[in-house]
Structures are given as structure tokens and as C-alpha cells.
Structure 1
Amino acid sequence: MKTQYYTASTLDGFIATEEHSLDWLLQFGEAPGGSYDRFIAEVGAIAMGSHTYEWLLRHQVRPEGREPQPWPYAQPAWVFSTRELPGVDGADIRFACGDVARLHAEMARAAGGKNLWIVGGGELAAQFHDAGLLDEIIVTVAPVTLGRGAPLFPRALTTPPALRLESVQAYGDVFAELRYAVKRG
């Protein structure tokens, strides 16, 4: 079982605009030959921050002016927030607050031997890293720059534990997927 931060980023290191928009990414549509289907098949539990959860509610589950869609994940999901948020009928969503290390073992048990996916955002992924629980960072880079926004990772990773490049994969003439293992100790 791995704890993985799998996300998309602009070339200058942002995962969303300051307004939490993903339009910069959605303009490309589906990535040709992307790794998402293989990745999600190995995920047994999900962790996400409140902005990611609210984005899913606004744009997928309860989109204004469009037909509502079901919750996109079959896996149990932990939503980390200090605010009270609405649930989704029929979805296994567990709201959490505080130290990620306190809940990691519970999430790992729920994953049933599969991986734990940190969907977003960067601050939540950094908390798993700070607790020594992050195993892998998988980031798909798009040829867009925003100049500012929500950072891929909000703090420096220049001192040990460092990252080790595992693979680089091009998808079409737009995306590059970088896979890094987090070196421990």
C-alpha cells in the first residue's frame, strides 16, 4: 500500500487558480492515453481537502444548470476541513479535521491493501509528507502558466527526505507525467 499524491499542475507549479478554478486544465479535455484508469484501479481510499471537495460538488455532483451526477468515487473518502460541509447521499464520505497521522491507519485499513490517494490539495499532501506518510508524488504537467494560485506543494522539499524520479511519460503533445518516490530518513 502506498500513500500517493496524484494531481495535475501548471508548468509553474499551481494546481488551481486563486479562485480554485481548474479551467486551465479542463480546456484540454481528456489526456490522450493518460494513466488515470490504471491509477484509480489501484486506489482503495481517498483523502481530499475541502476546496477539492467543494469543487467536485459544484462542477460534477451538483452542477448549476446541468443534470446532477453521482459521486465519482466508489472508494471511501476522507474530506479534511475545519468547516461543516454538506454530504452526498449514497457516498462513503467521512469528514475529518486535524492531524492526518491520527487517521492514516484508519484510511489504510479501509483501503484494504490498495493505495491511498491524496486527491488535493497541496497543503493536505504536504501534511502527509510532514508526518512521514507520503510515498509517491505523481504529477501531470500541462503547458500552462498561471503566475499565482494554489501551489502544487506549498513548502520546500530541498532537504531530506528528497524525491527520486521514477518515471517520465509523455501523453500526446501536451502532458508530461512525472512520478517521484519520496525517500525516507
Structure 2
Amino acid sequence: MTRAIYYTASTLNGFLADEHDSLSWLLSIPQEGATADIAAFTARVGVLVEGSSTYEWVLREEDLLAHPERWQAFYGDRPTFVFTSRTLPRVPGADIRFVRGSAADHWQDIVGAAQNRDIWIVGGGDLAGQFADAGLLDEIVVTFAPATLSSGKPLLPRDLDHSRLELVGARQAGPFAELTYRVNRSPDPQLQDDPQE
């Protein structure tokens, strides 16, 4: 069964990136022992979903327009849906599908592209929240880092209480703490319609 999984890293106080969309706080932390399970996770993934800010960060960080082969090293041949209201550059040779509208609008296409494998919601937090709003999010896996930020992009800007979230896993991964929550798919009665992040 295809599951939609929001798998991400966060500061201890719940930020994905700083106010300038930088992940320097994360990249400065020694990663030894922290990424052992990423290969096992990505092996189950059939499609990736991300917002425009996440996509633009990857473009900049990996200099993908000059080095499109770097896309393959991380994303592989998997289709990637990028939710955006703007025209963005496409990485040559990559299966990138720019879409507008809500998560629900494109759900069937995303599931079809996953080919019975999992959907990785890479980020940002608001896009993951829109999947939760629509009752389409199955799991949240957060690797909390030994770092805090005074401000930035929130992990998941939604009100989800214990009736929607069940802790099903907790482990240490090097200097990080990884928590896994199963999400009750009951949607929020007020859906969010602006999926750009």
C-alpha cells in the first residue's frame, strides 16, 4: 500500500530552515551514525513531493543547473512533483512535474507515479500540512538535531493533537533523535488551498 510520509530534519525547537531558507545549521553537524537508514527509506520511495522553496534550495546547494548529474545521485529516476505558483528552471534530464493547486488536486497522479511504493514529502512544512489537512498524510518521521534557531521555517505549521498523532518509533541516530508518528488520516474540516512553500 502506498503511504505518504513526511520525512525531514528539524532543529530541536521545530524549524526546518532559517529565515533565509538556509540549512547551514544542519550541515555543520557531524552526520556519522545519522544517515544509516536513509538508503532503506529511499528504497521504498516511488515518488517525491516538495514545494518551490525546497526545490530552489536543492538547485542552489547542488548547483544542479550546471551539474544535472547530481540530481540522479540523490533523487534517482523517481518522479518529483514540485508544487509552485511560479515558473522555475528544470534540471535537464530529471523527471520533474511542476504542479499548481492543492495536494488533493494532484493526489491521484502522485499515487499513480509512485507505482505502489511510498510517497516522500520532502518539504516544506506547509506543504506537508496541506497533505495532513486533506487526510492524505500517513506518517511523520522527524530527525531532531542538536541545534536551535531563534526563527525560521516551521516544521509543521498545523494544529495536530494526540488524536491525530501516534508515536510508533523513537531512536538515537548519532547526535540526532528520530521520532516516527503515525497520522490519523481524518482531515481537518478547513482545508488549506495554497500549496506553495
Tell me, yes or no, whether TM beats 0.5: yes
- The Cα of 1:24 is off from its aligned counterpart by 0.5
1:119 aligns with 2:122: yes
CA distance in 1, matches of 2:173, 2:47: 26
Q: 2:155 aligns with which of 132, 152, 155?
A: 152
Q: Residue 104 of structure 1 corresponds to which residue in structure 2?
A: 107
Alignment root-mean-square deviation, CA: 1.7
Q: Residue 62 of structure 1 corresponds to which residue in structure 2?
A: 64
Q: Residue 192 of structure 2 corresponds to which residue in structure 1?
A: none
8 Å contact 1:61–1:69 — kept in the other structure? Answer: no
Q: Residue 49 of structure 1 corresponds to which residue in structure 2?
A: 51
Aligned residues between the structures: 181
8 Å contact 1:48–1:79 — kept in the other structure? Answer: yes
Write the mapping of 1:1-185 to structure 2, written as runs, cut at 5 A: 1-34=2-35, 35-62=37-64, 69-71=69-71, 72-73=74-75, 74-158=77-161, 160=163, 162-172=164-174, 174-185=175-186
- The Cα of 1:63 is off from its aligned counterpart by 8.1
Amino acid in the other structure paired with 1:175? F
Over residues 110-167 of structure 1, what are the superposed CA-to-partner deviations in whole Å (9 max), with x where a residue is unaligned? Answer: 111100000000000000000000000000000101021000001221274x100010
Q: How many percent identity over aligned positions?
A: 49
Corresponding residue SS for 1:6: strand
CA distance in 1, matches of 2:104, 2:185: 16
Structure 1 residue ranges, 4+ long, deviating more than 3 angstroms after superposition: 61-64
TM score, norm. by length of structure 2: 0.87
Structure 1's 44 and 61: CA in aligned 2 closer, same or farther, altered over 3 A? farther
CA distance in 1, matches of 2:31, 2:97: 29
8 Å contact 1:122–1:153 — kept in the other structure? Answer: yes
